[in-house]
């Protein structure tokens, strides 16, 4: 007889980027060259200087790079983070308010595990980063999605948020800025209103800011500066300096709650990876190098973003906002696909299999974006971005020409909201 298991696990789903990557891997094995416009994967490695530092450190006959570390991270790294936050964002926190974790996903998990009880209501944007839909269901939260529309630049609707709050039941607002999947930066006015709401109603703002240094136009708002008692900030080193596979991130917030988050974090992984902590400490401590790298990454990604916008603009009927930050273009193709009765998820599958271009369907980010596709621009060169978007345009034109109504659903994307 099969022993039972915790059925809450069934609310977890494979992320769409993993689903796409599985297929890409297979296509690559068949010798096919896929243009990757699907993942938020940095296209440039960390600065050479820190990689050279690491290659020297690897020669040491010591346990320095391999040992356990304190569970909230090395003190030297947490000090470097405190100084970095002060320098780039004017954020005033002490080392006791910082917990280093095993990547951005782990910061989400330990924070939600700490602040939520089953049945708590959580307000989140529709669309938002796909990781939240799963995780909130797993923690048995009641989801309250509030549509952030393209027509309003994907800015949160403050009045709608306020109206959806139920005193004593609503626990948190989740906000991502610069945003995944839309690339919008939170307006300062909106951020101020949200911080006032959080303070008035005694809510948490879980502020997810892994792209905070990747801004192209406009300034990133540091929510903690507006509502220090109510903000828990989630951060990752996956995007800057670009070590997603090395799994490192950090959380900061009010000291009392960080103590609890640290316990959850310790219970999951004991400590974050030692090598990644050393590397990032060197990176953050070398201020000149850090600033140079941010400027370089921004300029490379901005050029890629601009090329992508230029190409997408050639698709008649496609709509998007210019992303002020992050790594994505969220493209509304409703006016193209609806008249043809084409399902966007199936379209992305067709694009991958027939044109060898990977993008993500909008439905994974929220119901309101089921006729959108998310294109990411940091990974590929401008030439390949041009080619990828051109193939998308060609596919849409082919479908339009054939008036091909309804492509059969297949099982590529098993996960859905």
Q: Which parts of this chain interact with ligand PLP (CB under 6 A)?
A: 40, 103-105, 108, 129, 131, 176, 180, 208, 210, 236, 238, 244, 249
CB-based burial, 65-79: b 16+ in 10 Å, e otherwise: eeeebbbbbbeebbb
Q: Minimum CB separation from ligand PLP for residue 121, in Å?
A: 21
Q: How far is the CB of 280 from ligand PLP (least distance, A)?
A: 12
Q: Which is nearer to ligand PLP, 74 or 365 (CB)?
A: 365
In the complex, the smallest distance separating the C-beta of residue 236 from ligand PLP, rounded to whole angstroms, is: 3
Nearer to ligand PLP, 224 or 350 (CB): 224
Comparison of 240 and 311: residue with beta carbon closer to ligand PLP: 240
The DSSP code sequence of 228-295 is TTTEEEEEESTTTT--GGG--EEEE--HHHHHHHHHHHHHHHSS--HHHHHHHHHHHH-HHHHHHHHH
Which of 272, 315, 278, 324 has its CA nearest to residue 56? Answer: 278
> Of 252 and 350, which CB lies nearer to ligand PLP in the complex structure?
252
Smallest distance, Å, CB 410 to ligand PLP?
26
CB 163 within 8 A of CB 141: no
Q: Which residue is nearest to ligand PLP (CB)?
A: 104
Q: Note whether 347 and 393 are within 8 A (CB).
A: no
Closest CA to 54 of 242, 240, 241, 282: 282
Enumerate residues 6+ apart whose C-beta is below 8 A from 380.
35, 36, 37, 43, 304, 388
CB-nearer residue toward ligand PLP: 104 or 361: 104
Residue 244 tokens, joined: 């997603």
Q: How far is the CB of 312 from ligand PLP (least distance, A)?
A: 20
Q: What does the CA dihedral 20, 26, 28, 29 come to, rounded to 10 degrees?
A: 160
Smaller CB distance to ligand PLP: residue 323 or 343? 323
**Minimum distance of ligand PLP from residue 63's CB (angstroms):** 26
């Amino acid at each position: 007889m099969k022993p039972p298991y915790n059925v809450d696990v069934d609310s977890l789903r494979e992320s769409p980027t993993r689903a796409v990557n599985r297929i890409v891997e297979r296509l690559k094995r068949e010798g096919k060259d896929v243009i990757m416009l699907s993942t938020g994967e940095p296209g440039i490695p960390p600065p050479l200087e820190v990689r050279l530092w690491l290659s020297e450190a690897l020669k040491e006959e010591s346990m320095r790079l391999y040992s356990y570390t304190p569970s909230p991270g090395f003190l030297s790294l947490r000090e470097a983070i405190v100084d970095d936050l002060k320098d780039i964002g004017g954020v005033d926190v002490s080392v006791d308010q910082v917990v280093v974790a095993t990547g951005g996903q782990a910061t989400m998990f330990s924070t939600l595990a700490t602040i939520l009880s089953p049945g708590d209501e959580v307000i989140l944007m529709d669309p938002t980063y796909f990781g939240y839909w799963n995780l909130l269901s797993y923690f048995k939260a009641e989801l309250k999605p509030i549509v952030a529309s393209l027509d309003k630049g994907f800015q949160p609707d403050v009045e709608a948020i306020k109206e959806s709050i139920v005193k004593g039941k609503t626990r948190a607002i989740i906000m991502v800025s610069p945003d995944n999947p839309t690339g919008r930066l939170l307006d300062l006015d909106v951020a101020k209103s949200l911080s006032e709401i959080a303070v008035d109603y005694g809510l948490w703002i879980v502020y997810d800011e892994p792209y905070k240094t990747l801004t192209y136009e406009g300034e990133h708002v540091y929510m903690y500066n507006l509502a220090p008692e109510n903000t828990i900030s989630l951060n990752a080193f996956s995007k800057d300096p670009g070590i997603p596979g090395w799994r490192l991130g950090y959380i900061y917030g009010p000291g009392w709650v960080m103590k609890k988050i640290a316990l959850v974090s310790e219970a999951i992984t004991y400590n974050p990876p030692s090598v990644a902590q050393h590397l990032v400490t060197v990176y953050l401590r070398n201020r000149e190098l850090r600033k140079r790298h941010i400027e370089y990454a921004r300029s490379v990604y901005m050029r890629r973003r601009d090329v992508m916008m230029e190409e997408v603009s050639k698709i008649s009927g496609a709509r998007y906002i210019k992303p002020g930050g992050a790594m994505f273009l969220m493209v509304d193709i409703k006016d193209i696909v609806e008249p043809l009765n084409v399902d966007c998820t199936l379209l992305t599958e067709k694009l991958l299999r027939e044109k060898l271009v990977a993008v993500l369907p909008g439905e994974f980010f929220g119901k309101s974006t089921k006729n959108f596709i998310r294109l990411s621009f940091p990974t590929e060169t401008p030439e390949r971005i041009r080619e990828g978007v051109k193939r998308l345009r060609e596919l849409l034109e082919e479908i339009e020409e054939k008036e091909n109504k309804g492509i059969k659903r297949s099982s590529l994307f098993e996960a859905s909201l």
